Amino acid sequence: MKKIVILLMLFWSGLTLGQSKLKNMTFIPAGEIILQDENSADSREVKVSLRSFFISNEITNKEFRTFVDYLKAHPDGNLEWVDLKSKPFEELRKDLKSYIVSCKMADVLSNLIDTFAMANEYPINSEEYTLYQNYFTDKKYDDYPVVGVTRQGAMYYCIWRTTIENNELMKKGKPTQMSYRLATLPEWYCAQQYCPGPSVKSSKVDNVKSQKVKKMEVPNMNGNVSEWISSSNENGENIAMGNSWKSGDDKLLKTFKDKNVREGYIGFRIVKDSIYE
């Protein structure tokens, strides 16, 4: 199995005051990192250049619940996005519309989240099971990280949030923004190394907003919940990065999961490309 680890962040540039103004998101300036293939015979190293981007805190129950409520209110509506992998790239110049993928919101809702995922991490009728059986819907957990979301569900959230925010901007006559998406593997490593914030090292999940975070810090990049990223391994398995309340150690974890897995210790955060280099 192919394993990639970060060795070194070479340099960062392009940081300008005032760029980190997106709510609950941290600006990561452009730069380069060196990655190593642990399974290559010669320990081959690869230099990866990255554009600047913003990365969010862990997406909360309240944020994701807003998405679910919207789907329930608009079951016959469509969620649309451009999928450049759906056809050969050379066809893009011929017909961009053919790359648009559409899915009924009712269908999205059917494969999105297991709202009992946190409770199901514990024995039925245990104190913890009772405590977390309404984890997703109880407002006292509004600011806790959402869990039980499929990797595809996390991607749907990115598409929906992009659409909603850009529609509001267009109504106001303002230019649209870059799309939200899941981080790539190199981006996640960069944020974890370059802007490490406080991490929850506890056997229970914690409030996302309970920690004091300094400027240019990304909290819980290795703690609280593991996080879906956009990258997959060579077997097509999805990747969740970082430790969680369940893993309980300080080692950087990378786990591989089936596409429909809904775990009580896996959540996600989102990124947005920056207009800055």
Greater confidence (12 vs 246) lies with: 246
Query: Please, which residues have CB within 8 angstroms of residue 257's CB and are 6 or more apart in sequence?
Result: 151, 237, 238, 239, 240, 263, 266
pLDDT recorded at residue 111: 83
User: Are 112 and 176 contacting, i.e. CB atoms less than 8 angstroms apart?
Assistant: no
Token output for 29: 């300036």
Name the 3-class secondary structure at 144: coil
Section 243-264 average pLDDT: 81
Structure confidence at residue 14 (pLDDT) = 45
- What is the per-residue pLDDT across 47-85, written as a single tens digit (0 to 9) for each? 888 999 999 999 999 999 999 999 999 999 888 887 666
Q: What is the mean pLDDT of the chain?
A: 84
Instruction: Return the minimum-mean-pLDDT range out of 10-19, 109-118, 156-165.
Output: 10-19
Identify the CA nearest to 37 among candidates 79, 78, 2, 82: 2
> How confident is the model at residue 11, as a pLDDT?
45
Strands in the chain per DSSP E: 4-13, 25-28, 30-37, 45-50, 53-56, 78-82, 100-104, 180-181, 226-232, 238-241, 254-257, 266-268, 271-273
Q: What is the pLDDT of residue 18?
A: 39
97-108 per-position pLDDT tens digit: 667 778 899 999
Kindly state the DSSP code that residue 112 receives in the 8-state scheme.
S
Tell me, what's the pLDDT at 82? Answer: 77
pLDDT of the residue at 124:
94
Distances (CA, A) of 48 to 79, 238, 252: 33, 21, 20
Question: Structural domain boundaries of the chain?
Answer: 56-273
Q: Per residue in 176-194, is it b (16+ CB within 10 Å) or e — as a string? A: eeebbbbbbbbbbbbbbeb
Angle at 102 between CA 230 and CA 89, to 5 degrees: 60
Report the CATH fold assignment for 56-273: paralog of FGE (formylglycine-generating enzyme) (3.90.1580)
Q: What is the pLDDT of residue 227?
A: 95
How far apart (Å, rounded) are the C-alpha atoms in residues 55 and 255? Answer: 21
Helix or strand or coil: residue 267? strand
Q: Which residues, 6+ apart, have CB-to-CB distance to 231 below 8 Å?
A: 184, 185, 239
Q: In 3-state terms, what secondary structure has residue 164?
A: helix
216 vs 117, residue with greater confidence: 117
Structure tokens at 185: 């593997």
Q: For 186-235, how does the pLDDT look when each residue is reduced to its tens digit (9 = 90+)?
A: 999 889 888 888 888 788 999 998 888 888 889 998 889 999 999 888 78
Q: Calculate the CA dihedral of residues 105, 84, 91, 163 and round it to 10 degrees.
A: 50
Cβ distance 31 to 12 under 8 Å? yes
Q: Please, what sign has the CA dihedral across residues 147, 151, 153, 156? A: positive
Report percent pLDDT > 90 for the chain: 48
Cα separation of 225 and 211, whole Å? 15
User: Whole-prediction pTM value?
Assistant: 0.87
Averaged pLDDT, 166-190: 92
